[in-house]
Amino acid sequence: MYNKKTITNVLAVLMLGFLASCTELDFYPHTSVAPESVSERDMDALLHGMYNAVQNNQGRESYIMFDLVGGNLIGASGGSELAFIRNIMRTDYNLVNNNWSGLYRALYQVNNVLSIMADQPASEKRERMEGVAHFFRAYIYYNLVTRWGDVPLILENTTERVSRDPAAQVWQQIEADLAVALEKAPTYEGDYYYVSQQAAQALLARILIGQNKMEAAAQAAEAVIALPMFSLDRFDKIFRHQQNREEIFSFKNLTEESSITLSTLFYTYAHDVSGSYVYKPTDAVMTLFDEGDNRKDISIATVSALNVINKYPSGQTGTDPFPVIRLAEMYLIAAEAKGLEGLPRLNELREARDLPAIYPTTETAYQEAVALERRRELLAEGFRWYDLVRTGKAVEELGIEPYRTLFPIPDYEREVNPNLTQNDDY
C-alpha cells in the first residue's frame, strides 16, 4: 500500500505496545516509544502502518481460505476434495493457527491506533483515522466470527487470558464499528485503495446478509448501487491492474511491503511469470462458466495441461491488488436478499458479464441461480465456504460433517490460554 520508507518509519511509531505475556493474543512488545509521545505529525505513519498490518498480518491464504475449504480449490497434486478440506480444518493445522493469530495481531494494531487517537486533540484527521480504524476492526471481526463463531471480543488491548464471547455479541460489535466508520471515515475520492464511508456501507451489506438480515441487507446494498461513483465495469480491468469504477475498497499489496503473493500459489513454472503451483481449481470450477462469459478467461486457464486460477497475474514477478469489496457483490447481495423481486439486479450483472437474462419461476430455482452467479463472480476472492454455511448448504454440498461449519480453535492458542474453549466435536 505504501512505500518502503514509510513502512520503515512506522516501526518507530505504529508498533507501540505494552503487551507481553505468553499467549498469541498478547503478541509482542514492539518498541520503546510510548503511545503518549505520539503527536499529530506521526499520524500519517500510524495510519499507513495500520493499513499494512491489516493487509499483511492475516497471511495470504486467509484471503482464499473459504475457497480452500469451500470446494473451489484443492491441492495441486489432486486427490479427494473432502480429505483436503478435513486436512485444513484440523486443530493443529498451521494455516488455521496463522490465520487466527494474524487476525488478532492486526486487531491489536487497530486497537492501539484507537487508543492513541483517544488522547489526541480533536481534529478532522483524528476523526478520519478513527473512522478507518473502526472499519478495519469490523473487517477483522467479520473474518473471525465467520470462521470460528464465538471469539474473544477485545476492544481494548489486554494481557489477560481472554475467553470467547458469543457470536451474536461479535456481530453486534461489527455493526457498531461500522456505524462509527459511516460517520467518521473519509468520503470516497476516486482511490479505492483507501477506506471510505462508501466502503463501510458496502461492508455493512455483507455483514447484514451474513446474519440473514435480508431486508436490511438489500437496503444497504441498494444504497451502494445508487452511488454515482461506482458502476459495473469490465472484468479484465478489475483483475489486470487497470483503473475501474467497480472496486470499492482493495488492498494494493505493493511488492516492496506486501507478503500477499497470491498468484505464486496458483501459477506453474511453465507459466510466463512462473509460480509454485500449490493450489489448483477443482474440476467443478473448470466447468463453471458458460460460453461467452467474459469472466472465464480472466478467472481460470490451462497452462501446459495444468489448470490454474488466473485472477492474480503477477506470479513470482511481484504481487497483485486484492479486491476486498466491489460493486458486483452488492448486486448479488441485493439479488439474493430480495428474492425473486431481485431478478433485475441478477440479470444486470449477467448482462455486464455478457450472459443472457434468465427467468426462474420459483424461489428455489432463483436462489440456486444467485448462488451459482456468486460462485462464478467471486471465485478465489474468499466467499464460497461461508456462502454455503450461512445458507445451510455446506454439509450437503461439501460432504463435510456438521461440526465443520465452524473452524477449530488452534491447539496452540488453547495451550497458552486455557480459557479458550474448543468448538464442539473437534
d(CA 230, CA 66): 26
Tell me the pLDDT tens digit for each residue of 115-143. Answer: 999 999 999 999 999 999 999 999 999 99
Residue 15 has pLDDT above 80, yes or no: no
pLDDT of residue 76: 97
The pTM for the full model equals 0.93
d(CA 182, CA 193): 17
pLDDT of residue 35: 62
Residue in 189, 228, 229, 185 with CA at minimum distance from that of residue 203: 185
Residue 4 has pLDDT above 70, yes or no: no
Rg (CA), the chain: 21
The DSSP symbol for 26 reads: T
The owner of cell 457470536 is: 167
Displacement of CA 363 from its chain's centroid (Å) = 29
Are the C-beta atoms of 16 and 112 separated by less than 8 Å?
yes
Residue 22 has pLDDT above 80, yes or no: no
The owner of cell 486533540 is: 121
Q: Where are the beta strands (DSSP E) in 240-296?
A: 247-251, 279-281
Tell me the pLDDT tens digit for each residue of 329-373. Answer: 999 999 999 999 999 999 999 999 999 999 999 999 999 999 999
Are the C-beta atoms of 81 and 73 separated by less than 8 Å?
no
Percentage of the chain modeled with pLDDT above 70: 91
pLDDT of residue 299: 98
Residue in 100, 171, 60 with CA at minimum distance from that of residue 407: 100
Residue in 218, 223, 230, 152 with CA at minimum distance from that of residue 189: 230
Exposed e or buried b per residue across 347-366, where buried means at least 16 C-beta atoms within 10 angstroms of its C-beta: bebbebbebeeeeeeeeeeb
Confidence grade of residue 293 (pLDDT, cut at 50, 70, 90)? very high
Are the C-beta atoms of 63 and 324 separated by less than 8 Å?
no
